[in-house]
Structure formats: structure tokens, C-alpha cells
């Protein structure tokens, strides 16, 4: 599927936003219920998001401007650990920080021939989605 992009403007300085991407305490304040993070290139990026074990590595860490991690789901054939890439770009703006996110390398879930693939992937998404309702 095409890259996913998203942007948010945050009323907090880049240093504080950056902390939320590289420390377990900061990460868990907005995503996941367990995190093991080693925020240096090649370091572990492991976050359990409502039952989904997201696994990868920190690829780039440039405080307080850039964090790049590899991203996948442990045991998932369609999106294996470390198989996609998420970039967080932090830009200082008047009110605080703009975060531009890009998620690249996501699997194609649109084609019926991949039905077995997405049927395998979905239960994990289901847990993530349902637990938020």
C-alpha cells in the first residue's frame, strides 16, 4: 500500500516531544502498554500496543529533530518485525513542534489474492482496535 503520512502540531518544545519517542516512560504516555527502547542506531525498539508486539530497531536518532525506527509485528508473516520504516521529523514552530510522520514499506492489503495474508494480520489489528473502543 502507499506510504502513510500524518502531521500534528504540538504545543510543547521539540525536546519534550523527542523524549516521547526515545524513553519508555515518554512512549507509554501515548502508545503501548510495555516498551523496551534503546534509542541509538541499531538499538532495540520494542513496544507492545494493546496485545500487538511491535518490534524493530532505532535506525536514526538525532535529538531533537529526527527519529527513524524499523517497524513490524513479531510473528506476523505480512509485516514481520523490522520490515517497514517509520520516520518522525520534528520541526520547531511558533507554538512548539510540528511532527511529520511517514510510514513506508507497508504491505499491500488490497488485493484479494493476499486474503490469507491479511486474514493473518487482522486479528492483531482487531485486538488493537477493539481494545480502544
Residues interacting with another protein, by CB under 8 A? Answer: 1, 4, 6-13, 16-17, 19-20, 26, 29-31, 96-97, 99, 101, 103, 106, 109-110, 112-113, 115-116, 118-120, 122-123, 125-126, 129-130, 132-133
Residue 63 CA to residue 130 CA, distance in Å, equals 34
Strands (E), the chain: 4-10, 34-37, 44-49, 52-62, 66-73, 84-93, 96-104
Taking the complex as a whole, the smallest distance from the CB of residue 25 to another protein amounts, in Å, to 10
Of 48, 21, 17, 51, the closest CA to residue 35 belongs to 48
Closer Cβ to another protein, 8 or 40, answer by number: 8
Nearest distance from C-beta of residue 38 to another protein, angstroms: 20
Find the shortest distance in angstroms from Cβ 44 to another protein.
Answer: 20
The torsion angles phi and psi of 132, rounded to 5 degrees, stand at: -90, -10
Amino acid at each position: 500500500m502507499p506510504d502513510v503520512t500524518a502531521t500534528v502540531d504540538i504545543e510543547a518544545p521539540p525536546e519534550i516531544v523527542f523524549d516521547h519517542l526515545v524513553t519508555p516512560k515518554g512512549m507509554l504516555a501515548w502508545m503501548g502498554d510495555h516498551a523496551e527502547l534503546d534509542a541509538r542506531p541499531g538499538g532495540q525498539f520494542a513496544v507492545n500496543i494493546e496485545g500487538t508486539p511491535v518490534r524493530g530497531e532505532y535506525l536514526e536518532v538525532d535529538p531533537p529533530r529526527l527519529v527513524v525506527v524499523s517497524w513490524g509485528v513479531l510473528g506476523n508473516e505480512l509485516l514481520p518485525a523490522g520490515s517497514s520504516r517509520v520516520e518522525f521529523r520534528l520541526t520547531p514552530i511558533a507554538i512548539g513542534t510540528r511532527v511529520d510522520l511517514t510510514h513506508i514499506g507497508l504491505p499491500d492489503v488490497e488485493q484479494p489474492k493476499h486474503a490469507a495474508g491479511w486474514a493473518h494480520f487482522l486479528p492483531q489489528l482487531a485486538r488493537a482496535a477493539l481494545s480502544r473502543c
